[in-house]
Structure 1
Amino acid sequence: MDLIKAIIIAIIEGLTEYLPISSTAHMGFAASLMGLEETEFLKMFQVSIQFGAILSVVVAYWKKFFDVNNLQLYVKLGFAVIPALGIGFFLDDLIESVLGNQIAISTVLVLGGVVLLFADSWFKNPVIHDEKEISIKKAVIIGFWQCLAMMPGTSRSAASIIGGMTQGLSRKAAAEFSFFLAVPTMLAVTLYSVFVKTWGKESATPMKGYEMILQSQDHIMIFIVGNIVAFVVAWIAIKSFISLLNKYGFKPWGWYRIVVGIGLLIYFNYFK
């Protein structure tokens, strides 16, 4: 993978991480379209550039993240992230095995799109319009909803936003809490993939993520630039998504997922 292709993947990650359309599906399709071999470094890179996307949330909402009078936010996020940490740890190998199954991912993309078509009509009367009104119990329930995104193609953003709406949150409040919850969730995933997880266990040269990054100057450059690009693009996407969600709801995203998912199924079934 050269730097240009890495930048393209990072742009896609930044654009799609916080939208309810699945960054995994889009990055997988882009990598396939560019003819990239599904190496362990590529898989690790697609996970690790989430670090840049994490920082974009912290910068975009820095007033809330660094408000000493709002320590309850950290408590809620701490409890909400526990389900993903526990379930994700035990299902790590299974999740990785699905990452290369583009047919399964594309199918989930379509099914998730169908759900989004009806999401607005299911949750018409929100009672919570601000993060401060979310109880710890509701935060934990949203955390369990987020776990649905462990199936690649689901979209962490879609799962956690809909989870929030089941708990009475408005679209805006659910989207913002989804952004906040992404910080500890993706930080944990990134740290695990870079420093703890052993990639290519069945290969002749299994490595930690940081070992693959430090393997060459090119890998170091790709990792750094990828995270910077993901940060900038994700920051723009976050700012745009809230206004679009308030104005148009979920239905456009649902149709988008269905059309793209069907297109991917055709591509991977007949042209790949």
Structure 2
Amino acid sequence: MSDLLVVILLGIVEGLTEFLPVSSTGHLILAGELLGFKGAVSTTFDIVIQLGAILAVIVLYWRRFWHVAAGLLGWQRGAVAFTRNILLGFLPSAVIGLFVYKMVKAMLEQPIIVAVMLIVGGVAILLIERAVKRTPVDSVEAMPTRTALGIGIVQCLSMIPGVSRSGATIMGALALGVDRKTAAEFSFFLAVPTMLAASGYDLLKSHEALTSNDWLAIAIGFVVSFIVALLVIRWFVGVVTRHGFAPFAWYRIVAGGVALVWLLAR
């Protein structure tokens, strides 16, 4: 299989899975293992192409971000609350990530961890979906500060490959009393500073090892993931609003089980 086709396929995987609670990084690791795309450069590729999916959020929700920016100039309550909650959600991973960066990079090269955590995460989603009934918080602006910070703390679990950043934040939000649609949207918005920081830090540490071909691969993966994510985000919000997260939980369990059998049988 050509290198170009591999990069395109990985970009598609990233765009499809970044905002679903199934672990985009985990899928990229398993796909890379299957396609023979492994090594130090591949881990940087997996992290940085997520910016394409993040750009899709900015494009789709540009009016929301524009209103928040305009509201901040007038110190409007809603805009201030929105920004405060995103920053509180981002803070824990920003601090903890600095200390566990090397450990996380090492785990990105261990596909067996991904398979196990896909199963564990799927079971956790099913349990949380059944246990959580109250949904008093129906907008990002209405979140209490402790809720936003709590979601941010839960997001730190997603540093383990296979856990899923969106899955951790969405399930954390549901457990803390946020409704499904708001939980999904908060996860989208929180991804912007989180992945910008993660990608920027990784590039700062790894850019000298990247060749011109590596940069080209990252650029192609970025564009592909952006286009695919544009199509996925709206669909995902509609699915979880109507059907909840159980379908994704069962997918995780099956995919993790298949991956575990395959990895152990090699």
The alignment of Structure 1 onto Structure 2 pairs a total of residues equal to 256
TM-score by length of 1: 0.90
1:52 matched to which residue of 2? 52
Instruction: Answer yes or no: is 1:136 the counterpart of 2:131.
Output: no
C-alpha distance after superposition, 1:78-97 (max 9, x if no partner):
12211001111101111111
Instruction: State how far apart, in whole Å, the 2-side matches of 1:152 and 1:223 are.
Output: 20
2:8 matched to which residue of 1? 7
1:43 matched to which residue of 2? 43
Quick check: 1:109–1:154 contact (8 Å CA) kept in 2?
Answer: yes
Instruction: State how far apart, in whole Å, the 1-side matches of 2:221 and 2:90 are.
Output: 25
Displacement after TM superposition at 1:185 (Å): 0.3
1:237 matched to which residue of 2? 232
Unaligned runs of 5+ in 1: 198-207
Displacement after TM superposition at 1:145 (Å): 0.8
Structure 1 counterpart of 2:230, one-letter code: W
| SS at 1:132 equivalent | coil
2:165 matched to which residue of 1? 156
Instruction: State how far apart, in whole Å, the 2-side matches of 1:248 and 1:65 are.
Output: 28
Match of 2:195 among 178, 186, 191: 186
TM-score by length of 2: 0.92
Match of 2:252 among 239, 257, 270: 257
1:205 matched to which residue of 2? none
C-alpha distance after superposition, 1:221-249 (max 9, x if no partner):
21211111111111211111111111211
Instruction: Answer yes or no: is 1:101 the counterpart of 2:110.
Output: yes
Quick check: 2:12–2:228 contact (8 Å CA) kept in 1?
Answer: yes
Percent of counterpart pairs with the same letter?
Answer: 38
Quick check: 1:123–1:165 contact (8 Å CA) kept in 2?
Answer: yes
C-alpha distance after superposition, 1:52-93 (max 9, x if no partner):
111111111111111122243222211221100111110111
| SS at 1:66 equivalent | helix
Instruction: State how far apart, in whole Å, the 2-side matches of 1:73 and 1:20 are.
Output: 23
1:62 matched to which residue of 2? 62
C-alpha distance after superposition, 1:236-270 (max 9, x if no partner):
11111111111211111111000000000011000
2:32 matched to which residue of 1? 31
C-alpha distance after superposition, 1:188-245 (max 9, x if no partner):
00110112x2xxxxxxxxxx32x344x22x3232121111111111121111111111
Instruction: State how far apart, in whole Å, the 2-side matches of 1:4 and 1:212 are.
Output: 23
- Quick check: which one's helix share is greater? 2
Instruction: State how far apart, in whole Å, the 1-side matches of 2:11 and 2:209 are.
Output: 18
Please identify runs of 4+ aligned residues in structure 1 that moved more than 6 A: none
C-alpha distance after superposition, 1:138-191 (max 9, x if no partner):
111110011111111000001000111122110111110011000000000011
Instruction: State how far apart, in whole Å, the 1-side matches of 2:83 and 2:265 are.
Output: 48
Displacement after TM superposition at 1:119 (Å): 2.3
| SS at 2:178 equivalent | coil
Unaligned runs of 5+ in 2: 72-78
